[in-house]
Chains A and B, each alone.
Chain A
Amino acid sequence: MAEKQKNKRLALVVSKGTLDNAYAPLILASTAVSMDWECGLFFTFYGLDILNKKKLDSLKVPPLANPAMPIAVPNMIGVLPGMTAMATGIMKKWMDRAKLPPLRDLIEIAQEGGAIFFACTTTMEVMGLKKEDLIDGIQLAGASTFLEYASESEVNLYI
């Protein structure tokens, strides 16, 4: 007989804005809310691109200095125009094959499940972002807010 435990909490710092680094936290967040956990994600620096209306649908996979690329590309070649698009295209094809949903769907699942999306106001200022530039349902906050949230969470990860 499975035992119902007290709701747990997951706190994530999302600091990167590449396609692969966007999926990892959103898969964890959508899973957490599906396990009845509370979940909060603090988006900072390039991680803000995931919340950026104009960038969310066009996040990329970097071919440079990425030895784990789908197809081995020497850095000398990786600098050429079109290589980032190619790397991204291959990854997207692979993701489609695994029927991975679009990032927007995972965001919706997480938000519907009650996940809190914090946008770091300091890096919004650094990167010249306004609240209107971000998708809906985002809370503006600073480090204190996140640390207080994270201090009561069982799982804390920096991505």
Chain B
Amino acid sequence: MEDLQPDRTLDCTGLFCPMPVVKTNKEMKRLTGGQVLKMIATDPGSIPDMEAWSKQTGHELLLSQEDNGTYIFLVRKRE
């Protein structure tokens, strides 16, 4: 899954709630259904927040992974 090539990448490093979710949602509007966004964050709250956001919006969270204080997410836009 980590090897999946995202269609767009969004860097939310250094940002805290609500900005990673707000920016992710805005970025999703630039994608078409089925395309994948990679989002990078450092807010530890972003792991549960992105899960909740995915559930509420219907965009599929393909990957949610911590790597040394950095959180990486892959989201597929719903059709």
Q: Cβ of A139: which chain B residues have Cβ within 8 Å of it?
A: none
B40 CB within 8 Å of chain A: no
Q: List 12 A-B contacts (CB under 8 A).
A: A2-B59, A2-B78, A31-B17, A31-B21, A34-B22, A34-B53, A35-B21, A35-B56, A36-B56, A99-B19, A101-B19, A106-B18
Closest chain B residue to A100, Cβ basis: B16
- B18, A3: Cβ atoms closer than 8 Å: no
7 closest A-B pairs by CB:
A4-B58, A34-B25, A35-B56, A31-B18, A34-B22, A2-B54, A2-B60
Helix, strand, loop or mixed for chain A's interface?
loop
- B52, A35: Cβ atoms closer than 8 Å: yes
Closest chain A residue to B55, Cβ basis: A2
CB < 8 Å neighbour of A36 from B16, B18, B57, B60: B57
A residues lining the B interface (CB < 8 Å) = 1-5, 8, 27, 30-31, 34-37, 98-101, 106, 109
- Chain B 51-70: CB-based contact to A (< 8 A → 1; otherwise 0): 01111111111000000000
Q: Cβ of B61: which chain A residues have Cβ within 8 Å of it?
A: 2
Report how many residues on chain B are interfacial, defined by Cβ distance under 8 Å: 22
CB < 8 Å neighbour of A2 from B16, B22, B25, B58: B58
Distance from B16 Cβ to chain A, minimum over Cβ atoms (Å): 5
B14 CB within 8 Å of chain A: yes
B10 CB within 8 Å of chain A: no
Beta-carbon contacts under 8 Å, B3-24 to A? 14-19, 21-22, 24
CB < 8 Å neighbour of A37 from B19, B56, B60: B56
